[in-house]
Structure 1
Amino acid sequence: MNVPLWVWLATVAAIIGMLVFDFVGHARDPHEPTLRESAIWSAGYIALALLFGVGVGVFSGWQYGGEYMAGWLTEKALSVDNLFVFLLIMTAFAVPKVHQQKVLLIGIAIAIVMRGAFIAVGAVIIERFVAVFYLFAIVLFWLAYSQIKEALSGGHEQDAGDAGDSRLIRMVRRVLPTSTEYDGAKLTTRIDGKRLLTPMALVIVAIGLTDLLFAFDSIPAIFGLTQEPFLVFTANAFALLGLRQLYFLIGGLLERLIFLAHGLAVILAFIGVKLTLHALHENNVPFINGGQPVPVPEVPIWLSLLVITGTIAVAAIASLVVSRKRAAEEKDGRELTRTSGHGRSTEE
């Protein structure tokens, strides 16, 4: 895929423009977004991402269009899982809801910059060393195992108390003077003549570090679907751009998506298999088949799209059905308890 420099520059400028528009139009004026506002803007960003995919297909071929769509869907699913951690960080630091938009937007900007750097490095490594595909596949299998392990152990809940009290954050508090109270959305404040950081600054540090860890998840995953740097970057950017609105839109649903981690584990493992087959097909590692390519089938992009969309749909539907059933059972249990208690009081 040959992408002219002006297309790169125009795309980056458009992404920066959307971030600036988001900040000026929404985050600059502190407020808690309504469900309607979040739904409209989430739908708008999803429509932009899909329209961009259609544009890639029309101008560069539907093979590349399909690769972009598979990558975007995977990154979007991973970003929803990341919202759990964002929610924990916000809760641990008791960030006022009216200022959460600004924190998320800054976090998204940091994530786009860091992932852009990761993608640039990853593209150079992949171009020179085919063996890195094997390494990426191992990373994806390990991430899939970690997702399943976390899902079975309730990892999101266990980390709730640690999000705002991590070792690094405690170290930052010791090294840099920090106030205990927020001063609006300011990163620094002045108390008794001393300039101090506010908890808002620590929240942004925590979000930035979390984004760095998320890059280790997402970059190997999307390179397993496409090796085109332009598609990798734009899929990541469009998946992240609507994350702020998605946070407020499905915040109440996050606890109900109980099988999301299971679905992500399946997707990561599937991409790991796809990447392994691709590595074997392009093999030049001396101790594997004498450094010659191995005649194995490769996973077509339509199958990748089918598996990814099907897995996300099954995980989401199963989560909502089981969550609703559990909620109904808990409600019946409470009513039975109240009825039993009332019966005993009457007899007494």
Structure 2
Amino acid sequence: MKNVAIIMGGYSSEYKISLTSGNVVYQNLDTSKFNLYRIHILKDKWVYVDDNDAEFPIDKNDFSTTVNGSKITFDVVFNAIHGTPGEDGLLQAYFELLNIPQTSCDYYQAALTFNKRDLLSVLKPYGIKTATSYYLNLGDPINETEILKIVGLPCFVKPNKSGSSFGISKVKSAEEFLPAIENAYKEDNEIIIESFLDGTEVSVGVINFKGETKVLPITEIVSENDFFDYEAKYLGKSQEITPARISEELKVKVETFAKKAYEVLKMKGFSRSEFIIVNGEPHMLEMNTVPGLTTESILPQQAREAGIALPELFENAITLALK
């Protein structure tokens, strides 16, 4: 039987959500087919956590652990870390150097998609529309009038490389602009300022399923808050409607762009892309390569709608990684 390390946690504000995702994976994989190990990768420690919550340190030299004198190595890694270092390429590169297969995309794709600015720049030539945007690096002079002339009000100020909507603000007046920039800089040293797209927000999972690129049913997101922020995402302040209430024509457009992005980028494993449809045209916001995997998360909802239960979804990811 293969030894599967399910990695969870991470170094970002999202680590708690990641622990939930990792535990859902742990509960849904078939223990008659795999030996499962929960590995917490946290800033202050990397540990294997057994069912009694006892902790055994991970040896970073070869990603192994020792339990009661016997050394355990892993055949494959199931990546459930949202944010750094699981979604930005750091761990992907580490496992590639150690020659251990893992379930998410490769390190370059992870780093590229984690950087919203670079992702959207790469996809633009393929006809994928985006919001009008302006970028700032920490220390850049901020010409408020010039920026607001380009993006208009209201606009969004976001960290360029962060997940789960931490550090995002919707700016409705010039007075709110600088505080929003300060807020975004708490999460990242690069920020992206985007024009407000007034339209229908949808989220679409694209996965490799049994060797084929599969677009999952689209979810429409109706936020009770001003936008799909952390509360809306994780504290139930939004309605997620799967399948989305959009025309067949729009559905085909969104699916086409989502699939094109996945294939152009040579993605593997799971992905979930966010679009806002304005005047019948999908505009891409971002792509997540380690989307939430809790039972309430969007990608698992979409898989269920497509008739794929969680055990099958997770086992497929491991099978493909081992190939």
Structure holding more helix per residue: 1
Larger Rg: 1
Q: For the superposition of Structure 1 and Structure 2, which TM-score range results when normalised by the shorter chain?
A: under 0.3
TM-score, normalised to structure 2, is 0.24
- Greater fraction strand: 2
User: What TM-score, normalized to structure 1?
Assistant: 0.23
